[in-house]
Amino acid sequence: MEIGGFLEFPELKDTERKESAYYYLTHLYDNYNFFADGRQAIKAVLLNTGDILNKTCYLPAYLCDSILQSFRELELDVKFYPHRELLKPVLDGKIKDSLVYLIDYFGTEPVSEKEIGEILDGNNMVILDVSHSILDEKRFSLTHENFYLISSLRKTFPIPDGGIVYHSDPNFKSSDIPPIKYEKKLEAMLLRKLYLNETDTHGTDTDMAEKSKWVKEHFLNLNQEYESYKYDSTVEPQSIPLTSCYILKNISMTDITDRRWQNLNFMHKEILKRDLLLFNQDKIKSPFILTLKFKNENERDSTRKRLIENDVYPPVLWDLKAYIPEEFSYERHLSKRILMVPIDQRYGPGEMSKVRDILNSAEMV
């Protein structure tokens, strides 16, 4: 039983239209546009901003480098802003006529609607990244001509790729360019589903184990090829894969949100080492992932190693030191102590109990 890794191809079901993930995503906001991935959604917003070259862009010092990609390609003026505890942004109240990029981290919403409104009052443009909070429909109540919400949908939904922009601009330009290379990710998802089914069915059968090993190597290579392509290519807005739309129309939002909340609630209740939890549960508005913090990097790495030895695979961590200046010590230090554990809709009490037992028995170094 493996836990974690990218989402495999899901079990599709005959889902009532209003119950589907597609219906949910397309009824959060009056105006929206799909794209092939999250970074393309960012690029589209930037390209739709006429005076973007004249704006200073304030980005959080705790972020994935894929967010930076479009800003770098357009050679925009980027400045990072710091955070205090629990990833609360520290923004200069004097920022005017600029772009401010905010992130809802790990299902929390560190910037309130009121605070976003105050930023917008300075004639600023705000991009709110809701990739981690897409399951909280209350987050979509604020509308403003200079306010955009973007999400990388594959972080929550089992699709080969997809991104979305929510906005209030009736003249927003989308893209009808067909998506490129997503078939590699789709094949990887299908092979991963086959692999998981075979390993669950045949267990320790020697011949099947050898075959499964080859299948796993192949889907991991396909996934890496796709990720490398995205990093090595210039971001160009493209349309969302039709396969992604089909999947979204045939998976249930209730199944996704209920299972995620059940798993998150279970882990918060069952973990004995309470100081491991980065956030109190009342701070979490969207059930994205279980976020843990450790005293130091050695403790984190030791626990991560133990999880992997037991076939639990935490997500890849952001390597801030490669692109965030040393002056942002809180963010760089946090990145060495943080660990995320999957709690998504693929898993139930059995898998969560396994993770709980590993975390509760782990010795801190």
How does pLDDT run across 56-72, given as a tens digit for each residue?
A: 999 999 999 999 999 99
Residue 248: inside a domain? no
257 found inside a domain: no
Residues 156 and 227 in one domain: no
Same domain, 161 and 26: yes
Residue at a domain's end among 197, 220, 235? 235
| pLDDT, mean of residues 3-11 | 97
| Averaged pLDDT of the chain | 95
The residue segments making up the domain with residue 204 are 178-235
Task: State the total domains in the chain.
Answer: 2
Residue 104 falls inside a structural domain = yes
Task: Judge whether 11 lies within some domain.
Answer: no
What is the DSSP secondary structure assignment for residue 50, as one 8-state letter? T
Q: Are residues 101 and 198 in the same domain?
A: no
Residues 43 and 182 in one domain: no
CATH of the domain at 122: 3.40.640.10
Separation CA 335–CA 296 (nearest Å):
10
Beta strands in the chain (DSSP E): 3-4, 31-35, 56-60, 77-81, 83-84, 88-89, 99-103, 125-129, 147-152, 163-167, 290-293, 312-313, 338-341
Q: pLDDT by residue (tens digit) across 123-175?
A: 999 999 999 999 999 999 999 999 999 999 999 999 999 999 999 999 999 99
The pLDDT score that the predictor gives to residue 298 is: 96
Among 288, 267, 269, 290, smallest CA distance to 278 is for 290
202 and 133, same domain (yes or no): no
Residue at a domain's end among 191, 210, 235: 235
In this structure, the answer to whether residues 64 and 148 fall within a common structural domain is yes
**86 in the same domain as 136:** yes
Residue ending a domain, among 196, 215, 235, is 235
d(CA 87, CA 152): 20
The reply to whether 344 falls in a domain is no
Q: In this model, does residue 365 exceed pLDDT 50?
A: no
Residues 39 and 130 grouped into a single domain: yes
Tens-place pLDDT, residues 262-279: 999 999 999 999 999 999
Residues 43 and 117 in one domain: yes
- Whether 117 and 194 map to the same domain: the answer is no
Contact 169, 50 (CB under 8 A): no
More confidently predicted of 308 and 204: 308
Residue 62 and residue 187 in one domain: no
Contacts of 144 by beta carbon, 8 Å cutoff, 6+ apart: 117, 120, 126, 168
Residue 117 lies in a domain: yes
* 98 shares its domain with 69: yes
Phi and psi (nearest 5°) for 309? -60, -25
